[in-house]
Chains A and B, each alone.
Chain A
Amino acid sequence: QKEVEQNSGPLSVPEGAIASLNCTYSDRVSQSFFWYRQYSGKSPELIMSIYSNGDKEDGRFTAQLNKASQYVSLLIRDSQPSDSATYLCALTGTASKLTFGTGTRLQVTL
């Protein structure tokens, strides 16, 4: 089982809709969780971090963490074409390093 699992997509949502991106992980002692966005041909950039159960909101983005079920999700409200990118889930586990998922490609259609 991979440490961090994401559906590769593409996830296609119409403009203005809510995009829901999901990530599951296997290491129960994982402590901190991150969502990075990567545009095609560019480097990843951090958009959200979360470390305790529940929701964390930042503008149109909401990260949700459920440690009991070992999943973390990212909701993007009012999706825009500029949100079209690959979204990478990442976490810190037993070692002091960041482990990434393979990413979910999001397409926001007009």
Chain B
Amino acid sequence: DVKVTQSSRYLVKRTGEKVFLECVQDMDHENMFWYRQDPGLGLRLIYFSYDVKMKEKGDIPEGYSVSREKKERFSLILESASTNQTSMYLCASTSGGAVIATNEKLFFGSGTQLSVL
């Protein structure tokens, strides 16, 4: 069965800490994505990657960076966590290269609920 695994389900961090959120997929997918989901704001794209060492900014990249050293792993980094980064973070992957095809399905991880105090 296909799987996208996020390292932590719940995470509590202090303001100013450097935070790493890890995501691993076992489907040999080219595309990987990081979203955050907030009540009333829906899913918003932070960064995505369509190949190893490639990254593209999404709609809300400020305060975040990413790393994709291996095809199966896509990491989201909060360089200096702030309280407004408290959110549910969802990783997703899909095949298809740089363009999402008509019926490409995003496979989501189970999410990481991050609280920054």
- B100 adjacent to A101 (CB under 8 Å): no
- A44 adjacent to B108 (CB under 8 Å): yes
CB neighbours (8 Å) of A49 from chain B are 102-103, 105
CB neighbours (8 Å) of A101 from chain B are 42
> Cβ of A45 < 8 Å from any Cβ of B?
yes
Interface residues on A, range: 20 to 34
- B43 adjacent to A44 (CB under 8 Å): yes
User: Once A and B bind, how many residue pairs between them come within 8 Å at the CB atom?
Assistant: 54
Q: Mark A34-77, 1 if CB is under 8 A from B, else 0.
A: 00100000111110010100000000000000000000000000
Q: Mark B51-71, 1 if CB is under 8 A from A, else 0.
A: 000001011000000000000
- B42 adjacent to A98 (CB under 8 Å): no
- B100 adjacent to A100 (CB under 8 Å): no
> Cβ of A31 < 8 Å from any Cβ of B?
yes
Instruction: With A43-B90, A43-B108, A102-B40 as known contacts, state yes or no: A96 contacts B100, CB within 8 Å.
Output: yes
Roughly how many angstroms separate A36 CA and B43 CA in the complex, as a whole number?
A: 11
Q: Mark B24-47, 1 if CB is under 8 A from A, else 0.
A: 000000000101000011111100
- A98 adjacent to B100 (CB under 8 Å): yes
Which residues from 65 to 110 on chain A have a C-beta closer than 8 Å to any C-beta of chain B?
88, 90, 92, 96-103
* 20 intermolecular pairs with C-beta atoms under 8 Å apart: A32-B101, A32-B102, A32-B103, A43-B108, A43-B109, A44-B43, A44-B106, A44-B108, A88-B42, A88-B43, A90-B43, A96-B50, A97-B45, A97-B48, A97-B56, A97-B58, A97-B100, A98-B100, A99-B45, A101-B42
Roughly how many angstroms separate A45 CA and B2 CA in the complex, as a whole number?
A: 13
- B106 adjacent to A98 (CB under 8 Å): yes
> Cβ of A26 < 8 Å from any Cβ of B?
no
> Cβ of A8 < 8 Å from any Cβ of B?
yes
- A96 adjacent to B99 (CB under 8 Å): yes
CB neighbours (8 Å) of B50 from chain A are 96
Q: Closest approach, in angstroms, between the C-beta of A82 and any C-beta of chain B?
A: 19
